[in-house]
Amino acid sequence: MSFISKCDATVIQGASQALSQGNLIAFPTETVYGLGADATNPDAVKRIYEVKGRPSDHPLIVHIASLDQMDQWTIDIPEYAIKLARDFWPGPMTLVLKRSTKAKDFITGGQDTVALRVPAHPIALSLLQEFKEGIAAPSANRFGSVSPTTAEAVEEELKDYLSPQDLILDGGQCLVGVESTIIDCTKQTPFILRPGAITSAMIEESTGLIALTNNDGSIRVSGSLDSHYSPKAKVVLDAIAEPGDGLIAPDQIPTPDGVIRLASPRSVEGYARDLYAALRLADTKKLDVVVVLQPGGDGLAEAIRDRLARSAYGN
């Protein structure tokens, strides 16, 4: 595996070629780092599952360069999905739509839907534009663990599993820090499968439709397994902070009692950006327990509480 820090046009061309040859490319997006493969190549996609240690019936998101490529992968796109795509792509939003014959079972896990996203990071976009084909990419972590938000975290996580021809493209720290909002667009109205930076209020504003979500406390379809987003350290959830509470900043952790107390820093956005790095730090420091103060409020804060509930599941 090679780690590439300066991703100029030549590097992007090389990475695109490597994808055509069936290799894996870890690349930055604005949410988290993805582990990419040619979405039309079953052998390449199979390697994603091997490297992640992920069950093979889990569907993957196909990343595309622009909404013009949507109808290659899907059929029956509802009007409201087009509105969402126009308003929020490139951006931290994934749309689940009825699949076309191009989206094979090895991408969709045998479901009749496919997940599509146009990411907003310049490196991801140049790679997609150069490659011209869809890139299947889950978060670049081992199955069940915390998504990486830096290239170093990808290397640490996957170096023992990647092959010599695979690449890690370094694009710095991810701006959003939590995975994209996943919206099921196969029904009359949008349904949020995984909350993220594109909030229900934004969806309503864009489409005029109320986005339903599973608020009954049961676990959602996506990322729904017991130990998701989990570091090795035991995650214990502390109280929900009131919005605006000025608490301990991430650079002041761990606290003297040896526990990482990840408290809401400057803003909910700042909290989201630093959350996964702080959870990883707990493992680097070999802490047994990480106590996490949850941000209050709706929107992105909901997405953070959703991930934290899964990190702490069973603890």
Residues 218-257 interacting with ligand TXA (rule: CB under 6 A): 221-223
List helix spans (H) across the chain.
9-20, 42-52, 70-73, 79-88, 105-108, 122-131, 151-158, 200-207, 268-284, 300-311
At residue 93, the 3 state secondary structure works out as strand
Residues 153-212 interacting with Mg ion (rule: CB under 5 A): none
Of 4, 2, 38, 1, residue with least CA distance to 172: 4
Of 34, 90, 190, 265, the one binding ligand TXA (CB under 6 A) is 34
Q: In the complex, what is the shortest distance from the CB of residue 204 to ligand TXA, in angstroms, rounded to a whole number?
A: 21
Identify which of residues 35 and 260 has a Cβ nearer to Mg ion in the complex: 35
DSSP-derived secondary structure for 195-252? --SS-HHHHHHHHSSPPEE--SSSPPSTT-STT-S--SSEEEEEEEEPTT-----GGG
121 touching ligand TXA, by CB under 6 A: no
Identify which of residues 74 and 139 has a Cβ nearer to Mg ion in the complex: 139
Name the segment binding ligand TXA (CB under 6 A); options: 2-10, 29-37, 156-164, 231-239: 29-37
Binding mask 145-174 for ligand TXA (x = CB under 6 A): ------------------------------
Q: In the complex, what is the shortest distance from the CB of residue 261 to ligand TXA, in angstroms, rounded to a whole number?
A: 27
Residues 202-221 interacting with ligand TXA (rule: CB under 6 A): 221
Instruction: Tell me the chain's radius of gyration from C-alpha atoms.
Output: 19
DSSP-derived secondary structure for 114-137? EEEE----HHHHHHHHHH-S-EE-
94 touching Mg ion, by CB under 5 A: no
**Residues 281/253, Cβ–Cβ less than 8 Å:** yes
Of 137, 275, 304, 308, the one binding ligand TXA (CB under 6 A) is 137
Residues 124-143 interacting with Mg ion (rule: CB under 5 A): 139
Contact residues: ligand TXA, CB under 6 A: 29, 31-32, 34, 58-61, 94, 96, 108, 111, 113-115, 117, 119, 137-139, 179-180, 182, 193, 221-223
